[in-house]
Amino acid sequence: MLMAGVTEEQAARYTEDLRRACAAKEVCGEDVSTFVTISIGLAGCRGEIDLSKVMRTADQALYAAKHRGRNRVAKADVLTDSIAA
């Protein structure tokens, strides 16, 4: 997902709201029902952007979220390439 014109705080809130909404909904099939969780890698940037770098960094954050236990949002800073839980 690409969000333009939002602050880092808004993006973090939107992704966390999305994660919670997915976990709260039961998905039902023919003979099975389950709850679905998602992990999200969040990368932000300012000024000039290199979209491929932003996407790579978000992908790294996604795998960090999965590695840390899934069902979470991991934030990455494209400017420093660091990933935080």
Q: pLDDT tens, position by position, for the chain (85 residues)?
A: 788 889 889 999 999 999 999 999 898 988 999 988 999 999 888 777 788 888 898 999 999 999 998 899 999 865 445 555 4
Looking at residue 82, its pLDDT comes to: 53
Looking at residue 84, its pLDDT comes to: 53
Residue appearing with tokens 């099939």:
29
Looking at residue 2, its pLDDT comes to: 80
User: What are the residues whose beta carbons fall under 8 Å from the beta carbon of 22, sequence distance 6 or more?
Assistant: 36, 37, 38
Rounded-to-integer distance, Cα 29 and Cα 38, Å: 19
